[in-house]
Chain A
Amino acid sequence: GAVVSQHPSWVICKSGTSVKIECRSLDFQATTMFWYRQFPKQSLMLMATSNEGSKATYEQGVEKDKFLINHASLTLSTLTVTSAHPEDSSFYICSASGGSGYNEQFFGPGTRLTVL
């Protein structure tokens, strides 16, 4: 089946530093990747949608200069949290889909970010 990996699975960083999270589709080409954030006991909130080779589309209220997304290839998207603060601590999950008209999204295992 379609497998999506994320790295790292967890990360602890100091306030003010930047953290990069990788999302890879291992056995299919992901034309679209999505980045979600999930706070404890809450739902998944979409942060941005990225298509290979083009700029990401951010949801309202998500700071594009703080959450940098790069989708450089059909198998890799990265999310960089710049100048992280404690309020950025959350569970970040990516998902990938294989193309237009194909609805199912395949989720990565998530990255637990803790900012001290």
Chain B
Amino acid sequence: GENVEQHPSTLSVQEGDSAVIKCTYSDSASNYFPWYKQELGKRPQLIIDIRSNVGEKKDQRIAVTLNKTAKHFSLHITETQPEDSAVYFCAASQGAQKLVFGQGTRLTINP
């Protein structure tokens, strides 16, 4: 089955700097790669997603890149703000099948 590895587990950056979180997946049949932000005790919130027919997608300060050949995808957050502090999860799935989550990255933005 699918296996998703996420790095780093913790990330601390200065406010205004960029943050990058990376994930690799094992199943070449996976074609949907969402990223979630989760605050303590809350539900995961979808912040951006990408499908396998696209190499990059951007939404304001957030971007995701996908390398299908290498089977890895990354989340890029630019101009970080204190409210970006949270735990971020990547995930992978095939079609409407189950999501397999990465281990999570605790992002801390230092003012």
Contacts and interface: CB of A to CB of B under 8 A. Distances in A.
Interface of A: 32, 34, 42-46, 49, 91, 93, 95, 97, 99-105, 107-110, 112
Given A42-B104, A110-B43, A112-B41, A103 B98 contact: no
B2 to A, nearest CB: 11
B103 interface: yes
Contacts of A104: 34, 46, 49
Contacts of A43: 89, 101-104
B43 A107 contact: yes
Query: Could you tell me the dominant secondary structure of chain A's interface residues?
Result: loop
Task: Report, as a range, how many residues of chain B touch the other chain.
Answer: 20 to 34
A36 B99 CA distance: 10
B44 interface: yes
Interface of B: 32, 34, 41-46, 49, 51, 89, 93, 95-96, 98-104
A103 B95 contact: yes
Most buried by A among B49, B93, B98, B103: B98
Nearest to B94: A103
Considering the complex of A and B, which 8 residue pairs feature the smallest CB-CB distances, nearest first? A103-B32, A107-B43, A43-B101, A100-B96, A44-B101, A109-B43, A43-B104, A43-B103
A100 B103 CA distance: 26
Given A42-B104, A43-B103, A44-B101, A100 B41 contact: no
A105 B99 contact: yes
B98 A109 contact: no
Contact of A100 (B34, B51, B95, B98): B95
